[in-house]
Structure 1
Amino acid sequence: MYDKKYDQGKKLRERIKRKDQSVFRLSSKRQSVLQMIKASDYDRVEELIPIRHYRMSASPFAFYRATAGIMAQDLSFLPHSNFKVQAIGDCHLMNFGGYATPERTLVFDINDFDETYPAPWEWDVKRLATSFILAARFLNLSEKTAQETAYILSNSYRENFIEFSQMNLLDLWYMKFDVERILKEAKNNKARKLLTDAIEKAQKGTNERIFYKITQSVLGGFEIAEQRPLVYHPFDMKDAKTTIENFVGKYAQTLAPDRRYLFEQFNIIDVALKVVGVGSVGTRCYVTLFINQHLDPLFLQVKEARISVLAPYVSNVKRQFTHQGQRVVQGQRLVQAASDIFLGWSTGPAGRHFYFRQLRDRKIAPEIDKFDEELLKSYARLCGRMLARAHVKTSDAPVLAGYMGKSDILEDSVSKFALSYADQTEADYNAFIKEIKKGKLKVEAE
């Protein structure tokens, strides 16, 4: 059966050659950068939009992190196989990292699913490869190194995809990338030092430590300390009590019965709006504090879920959710090896969709500014392996393995595309900066 499907995949090359994956050209329908940025700013918290622009202006790499929608549109006009997986959507290198499983083991996995949607597999691969080109340039590495890194990422993806496509399906779903094992296998001294420090920091990311870091005592109780304009209370808790309880109650119904029982031991104490990330700035994102009768704290992040940037460009999708929070949660559960026990969703009083997850649950984020050439290439191999497993889990993998084949044609094509698209991103970034200087886009330092 595997060989038959593998051969079917080879026939996909008649529809789109692997060399055609290198093609990059802009659509004549493409809007100006100003128009596209303003469209992405729609329905965000107005006073936070200038902070979003400020964070995007830091570098082409920062700009890229906030413009998944622009790339999704560009990719939709380019040759692609239309072979769908549960795509990450905003698949760049900063959206990979470590976190604690329900068993409290630190694992490496994809950790941002705001844009997840069933979509062509190569859109994720190309977006991830381009992010490595931009990161290499951000680190002032050579163009040769940048292209080599994108090649290594694509090669790791293809080779691991073929390996995983032949695995027992249950074994694949049980597979986890243990951070401690990654540390033991690391050959680079700098990598071991950075990862050891990150693990030590992550082990301190408990609810109790977060509690003492971000709360303050007020009239015998506790509240989340404000740090305007990045953390503040958007409404009075007493006035909004009924609304909040209804909102949280809807969320609780999306949890499995055992997890709902655990969650219902906690009472909500405070809610604050918190500015996070780059692309997410201006969306409604809250940090919520819950406390049980033993005074144990629980922090949940409540994040607005908008329509995936991939959705307008994908047709014939079977797995559809009318609730965007549910889309994010179910996509995350499909892709990750182990997911947060408090993942769930709810609808706000204005009809907006949200999803819940734990705040800083022993998370490890890559510190790219500390990477050198060797470390960036090692990280590319790891991300390629991780993305391959995610795509194998959610596709008819033997067919796609057959399309990719055993030669390096795919990685050569993807790395060439990534170089071209990184150049386009830099051009878009420069146009974005010009609009800021003209006063067409407001910027506010934090």
Structure 2
Amino acid sequence: MAQDATSPLRAVPGATPAERAALGRAARRRAPRSGHAVFEPPADRPDALDILRTQSEARVPELVPIRYARMTESPFRYYRGAAAVMASDLAGTPDSGIRTQLCGDAHLLNFRLLASPERNLLFDINDFDETLPGPWEWDVKRLAASLVIAGRANGFSDRERADIVRATVRSYRESMIRFAGMRNLDVWYSRTDEDLLRAVAAEKLAPRGRRRLARATAKARTRDSLQAFDKLTEMTEGQLRIAADPPLLVRFADLLPDPEREALQERVRKLLRGYGRSLPSDRRALLADFRPVDMARKVVGVGSVGTRCWIILLLGRDGSDPLFLQAKEADTSALAPYAGPSVYRNQGERVVAGQRMMQAAGDIFLGWERVNGIDGRRRDFYVRQLRDWKGIAEPELMVPRGMGTFGELCGTTLARAHARSGDRIAIAAYLGHGNVFDRALETFAERYADRNERDHRALTEAVAAGRVPAAQEGDG
């Protein structure tokens, strides 16, 4: 069912904590907590392939086959690319009527290590392409299902997967209860930093898991503009240039003939100038100290493949002072048909506003802009650093205990993100101190993983039959 995107996310002004809690408990009548176990697609469920094809229509045609190829690799890779499919499915599931800012694609790989502006390492949500206000349950369900799908890929037993999901959802529920009792400012300042990660690892992980975390945090610190500079650039005829790796990374110089290339480069330069206006004045001044020297189109992720994504190499003081920015196309959220349209006319601003609302600390260069004349259309973009201490999980290396601990961190992080924008007291009261909701999502996640496997199989069969184009990344 469609949601009213203009309805307030926060508590009714002047409502007491007791009144807000009463609203949360009353919401159980609208959607009993045990009812969240239900996932019964209707007979007229939209075809998943049709949803994916509709998304592909606005994307770069020659890149769409790469997206399909990546999605056929495994049920989990398919799931990463099928946020729009799940949004359609979630719209028919029970919800409490309590809204918050959603990530919109809260699978486990969108929780990772990030840098704060103060150069501290944090664990937080990273991807906000689909962010929009909506039912808080949708994010929790997408996270829970992703853990089951990843657990199946690792050969975990039914009991092991159930334990992982219950631990994750319990962490979300108990964290939300804790946030409900905190002052507003304390919620806003809350974050999961490296010290807390080490403490959790010491308590819950075996020595091997603790060593893996130490390596991951150390590696994350190396993934910055200097590392990207070493990996992605080369000297060509005495000029510093982005090193091509087609079709995944193609310099503008190789992408289009001269007149069209010049026009695109000028539009990107205009994007950089205009996007600076979305930054605070101090960041705008910092950006002005850099000059662009090269540009390329880059293929990123799974679900994002085919969207226009450009990386821009800028230099500051000299040739050893690089900054890589990524300008990524922002289209209408996959949640919009079911949660309602964004209040922001610029989809890049929608992404940035959602990210700033949900993240504990954000990229200092995060901003947005609209560009006319890109492939004959007006297109919205958001801009951020290409790399800034990013560390991503490797679920295929996780044992059940490690995935359960990771899920708990994700649950706590998601609860904090939701508590910043929605009525945390009402959500906490709805969830309560029992495990009814935890067990319901254990069942939902398994049922949705079954559906995801069938959808993945349908895609692979369509590719094999030639009904859906798919090209491996090295194909010509």
TM-score bucket (shorter structure): over 0.9
CA distance in 1, matches of 2:420, 2:49: 38
Query: Where do 1:60-209 residues align within 5 Å?
Result: 60-187=75-202, 188=205, 189-209=207-227
**Offset of 1:213 from its aligned partner?**
1.3
**Offset of 1:293 from its aligned partner?**
3.4
CA distance in 2, matches of 1:179, 1:58: 33
CA distance in 2, matches of 1:200, 1:401: 36
- 2:437 is matched with 410
- Please give the per-residue CA displacement for 1:31-53, whole angstroms capped at 9, x wherever unaligned: 22332221221211111111111
Amino acid at match of 2:271: F
**Offset of 1:27 from its aligned partner?**
2.5
**Offset of 1:184 from its aligned partner?**
3.8
CA distance in 2, matches of 1:243, 1:57: 35
**Offset of 1:241 from its aligned partner?**
4.3
2:357 aligned to which of 334, 337, 342? 334
1:261 aligned to which of 269, 285, 305? 285
2:228 aligned to which of 196, 210, 230? 210
**Offset of 1:128 from its aligned partner?**
0.4
- 1:283 is matched with 307
- 2:17 is matched with 2
Query: Where do 1:296-315 residues align within 5 Å?
Result: 296-315=321-340
CA distance in 2, matches of 1:307, 1:239: 26
CA distance in 1, matches of 2:400, 2:393: 14
- Please give the per-residue CA displacement for 1:185-231, whole angstroms capped at 9, x wherever unaligned: 31322221111111221221232222121101123221110001110
For the pair 1:358 / 2:385, whether they are aligned, the reply is yes
CA RMSD of aligned residues (A): 1.4
Amino acid at match of 1:344: G
- 1:389 is matched with 416
- 2:3 is matched with none
Contact in 1 for aligned 2:129/2:330 (Cα 8 Å):
yes
2:43 aligned to which of 11, 16, 28? 28
**Offset of 1:15 from its aligned partner?**
1.1
Q: What is the number of residues matched between the two proteins?
A: 444
For the pair 1:16 / 2:31, whether they are aligned, the reply is yes
- Please give the per-residue CA displacement for 1:55-104, whole angstroms capped at 9, x wherever unaligned: 10111111011001111111111221221100010110000000111011
Amino acid at match of 2:322: P
SS class of match (1:349): strand
**Offset of 1:240 from its aligned partner?**
4.1
Amino acid at match of 2:348: G
**Offset of 1:312 from its aligned partner?**
0.8
**Offset of 1:28 from its aligned partner?**
3.2
CA distance in 1, matches of 2:271, 2:463: 38
SS class of match (2:127): coil
**Offset of 1:349 from its aligned partner?**
2.6
SS class of match (1:253): helix
2:270 aligned to which of 230, 246, 249? 246
Contact in 1 for aligned 2:332/2:347 (Cα 8 Å):
yes
Contact in 2 for aligned 1:27/1:74 (Cα 8 Å):
no
SS class of match (1:290): strand
**Offset of 1:238 from its aligned partner?**
4.7
SS class of match (1:129): helix
Contact in 1 for aligned 2:358/2:417 (Cα 8 Å):
yes
Amino acid at match of 2:345: T
CA distance in 2, matches of 1:333, 1:124: 17
**Offset of 1:145 from its aligned partner?**
1.1
Structure 1 stretches lacking a partner, 5+ long: none
Amino acid at match of 1:297: P
For the pair 1:293 / 2:317, whether they are aligned, the reply is yes
- 1:439 is matched with 466
Flag the 1:22–1:214 CA change in 2: closer, same or farther, 3 A: same
CA distance in 1, matches of 2:212, 2:94: 39
Flag the 1:164–1:360 CA change in 2: closer, same or farther, 3 A: same
**Offset of 1:239 from its aligned partner?**
5.2
Contact in 1 for aligned 2:52/2:84 (Cα 8 Å):
no
SS class of match (2:112): strand
CA distance in 2, matches of 1:432, 1:337: 37
Flag the 1:402–1:228 CA change in 2: closer, same or farther, 3 A: same
CA distance in 2, matches of 1:114, 1:84: 18
Contact in 2 for aligned 1:98/1:179 (Cα 8 Å):
no
CA distance in 2, matches of 1:297, 1:393: 34
- 2:66 is matched with 51
